[in-house]
Structure 1
Amino acid sequence: MINIIIYLLISSFSLVSARSSSDYDTYGFIDIKTDSMDVPFYIDGVFVGQHPLKEPIAVISGFHEVGYIPPEIQSKKIRDNLSDGLKRVYVSPGDTLKVFLFYDHYLSQAKRLESDYRVQRYIGVSLFGMVIYLLFSII
C-alpha cells in the first residue's frame, strides 16, 4: 500500500515537474493505446487510468511493466500465457514510448485461467491430504 502511495505521489509530481528541460534527464513518458474502450491500464501494478488516456503517463526512466491485467490476478502462469496483455518496456529519459496492448478477450481469459489454477491447487491439496490419510490409516 505504501508503494502505491509513493508511486502515485511521484507520478503526480512528475506530471508537473517533468515539464522543465532539466527533468527530462530523469523522466520519460508512456503513451498507452489499445483496441477497446474503457480498458483499465496498470503501470508496475498501479492503476493509471482507462483508455483513452488524455496524455502520456510520466514515469522514472527505466524498465516498467505495462498492462491491463489487475495485479491481484497476476501470477507467473498468467504472465506467460497472456503476453499481449502485459508488456515489459524500457523508457528512455526524456522520451515518450508508445505501447499498444491487444485487449479483445484477454482479461476474461486471465480471470478464467486464475480460477482454473485455483481449482488445480485445491484438487492437488485434497489428493495429497487423502494420500497422507490413507498412509496413516494403514499404519
Structure 2
Amino acid sequence: MKFTYLISWVDKNNLMTMQKVFYVLIGVLFSISVLQAQPEDDLESFGFIDIKTDSMDVPFFIDGYYVGNHPLGGPVPVLPGFHEVSYIPPNIQNEKIRNNLSDGIKRVYVAENDTLEVFLFYDHYLAQIETMENELKIQNYVGFSLIGVLIFVILSIF
C-alpha cells in the first residue's frame, strides 16, 4: 500500500509561517542565552563617589554632568580614574572662578572597587560666583576701553 500526502497551498503557507515562528523563537532563545545579566564581578570594575556638603538641596556635578541634589540616594558609580566633583554648573566654570573656589571644586582619584567620600563646602559660594563673574566682565570692559583710548591717543598723535 502506498501513501501519498498531498499538501495544499494553505498547508504550505501554514508550514512556512510555522518555520518563521520557529526561527524567530530559536533566535530569541539564542539572544537570551548570549545576553545574560552581567555578573556581579562587573561592579567591581567601578569606583564610587559619595558626595557630602554642608547645605541642603545643592546640585552636584561629576565631570560636568549633573548627578543629583544633596542628599543623594547613595554613592555615584564612576569609572576608576581622575574625576572633578563640584556643585558649580559647567556653564559658569571660568578659569579665574575655578582658581578662587577651591572648596567648591575637587579633583579626586577613584580606585577600582573603592568608595571615595568627597565633602564640598557650599556656604555662599554661588553668590560669590555671580559676583566674580560680574567683576570679570567689568574688568574686561575697562580693559578694552583703556586699549581703545590708548589706540585713539596713539593715532591722534601721529
TM-score category by the smaller chain?
0.7 to 0.9
The unaligned stretches of length 5 or more in structure 1 are: 1-15
SS across alignment from 1:103: coil
Q: Given the alignment, which residue of 87, 93, 110 partners 1:68?
A: 87
Match of 2:150 among 127, 131, 135: 131
Q: Aligned partners of 2:146 and 2:137: how far apart in 1?
A: 14
1:22 aligns with 2:42: yes
Structure 2 spans left out of the alignment, 5+ residues: 1-36
The residue identity in structure 2 corresponding to 1:55 is G
Matches of 1:136 and 1:107 in 2, distance apart? 43
Which structure: greater strand fraction?
1
* Aligned mate of 2:70, from 51, 57, 62: 51
Q: Distance in 2 between matches of 1:75 and 1:57?
A: 25
Q: How does 1:1-139 map to 2 (within 5 A)?
A: 20-25=40-45, 27-139=46-158
Large movers: runs of 4+ above 3 Å? none
Percent of matched pairs sharing the same residue = 58
Deviations 1:43-97 (A, max 9, x none): 1111111101112111111000001011121122211111100000000011111
When normalised by structure 1's length, the TM-score is: 0.82
Q: Give me the TM-score of the superposition, normalised by structure 2.
A: 0.72
Larger radius of gyration: 2
Deviation at 1:23, TM superposition (A): 3.7
Q: Report the RMSD for the aligned CA atoms in angstroms.
A: 1.6
Letter in 2 for 1:112: T
